Amino acid sequence: MKKKALLIIILIVVGTIAIGLSLSFLPNNNQEKDNLSHKETVINTIEKEFYSSKNTVKDLEEITKKPMISQDVFMGKGSALRLKPDNKVMTRYDLSKYESVINKYAPIVEKRFLKNTKYTVKENESGNLEFKIKPWYFYNYSSDLSYLTDKILDEANFDMNKIYTDEFFSSEYKARSIAIKIMNDHLDNYDNKDETVDFTFFYENGKPTDIEYFSLYLNLCGATTKNSAMKETSFTAEQETRVTKYLKEAEKKGLINMKKPLSLENV
């Protein structure tokens, strides 16, 4: 009887050791994540988070630790391209056709960005990361998109005293969908021929400083480039001239009905 009991105890001990050994060979996701190099961690953040189709402004604020607006966001449902009013407004103003326009043209812009934005990165002797970035000029595109959207609202004589009302969110969405369609003919203007940005991603005590991910994001979307072809692109006489030209050409092509600028009829 004692031998039988001893055998059972031995089997239990051996079984416990075997289980322990087998568990020790299972992958530990947290450990793998901790073992990633600085370079691998940042590249993962770019490719899996910055470039995520599920991004919202809040998601990016959690990564960058800085306040952001939709105009800054180049990918995802919270981007300058895809942001839409709440379901109540979408239903009340029957915006499904406008959503279809955005769903048609937004992926074209996103693919253009991903295809044309290039970067290399290496870790230096100090443990910091040296980036060389050649961005597609999304920041300039986004600025012109916003400007063109406002011009279409002006053409529609929208009462800006109604800003931030359901009517405004509906009208802005309509204007933006038409603006995205118009700007699809001008994407070449935002291609970067040869301008690159040198950027150092700094660490302190093994962790990125508070500004690094935000700075990296701005560099990737072209916000920090000189871009001599479109210098001082935001809200200038040059931008007014450029965007007005887009609008006039769009009218000639039948992409917008200036008698009903917010309508998709006859366009």
In tens, the pLDDT along 90-111 reads 999 999 999 999 999 999 999 9
- Please say if the pLDDT value at position 31 is more than 70: no
- Please say if the pLDDT value at position 238 is more than 50: yes
Question: What is the model's pLDDT at position 53?
Answer: 87
Question: What is the model's pLDDT at position 80?
Answer: 85
- In which band, very low, low, confident or very high, does the pLDDT at 56 lie, cut at 50, 70 and 90? confident
Question: What is the model's pLDDT at position 248?
Answer: 97
Question: What is the model's pLDDT at position 1?
Answer: 46
Q: What's the chain's average pLDDT?
A: 85
What residue spans define the domains of the chain?
53-253
d(CA 218, CA 117): 12
109-133: per-residue pLDDT in tens? 999 999 999 999 999 999 999 999 9
- Please say if the pLDDT value at position 226 is more than 70: yes
Question: What is the share, in percent, of the chain residues with pLDDT greater than 90?
Answer: 70
Question: What is the model's pLDDT at position 22?
Answer: 37
Question: What is the model's pLDDT at position 225?
Answer: 87
Read off the pLDDT of each residue in 4-32 and give the average, rounded to a whole number. 38
Strongest mean pLDDT among 24-28, 87-91, 190-194 = 87-91
What's the whole-model pTM score?
0.82
Question: What is the model's pLDDT at position 212?
Answer: 97
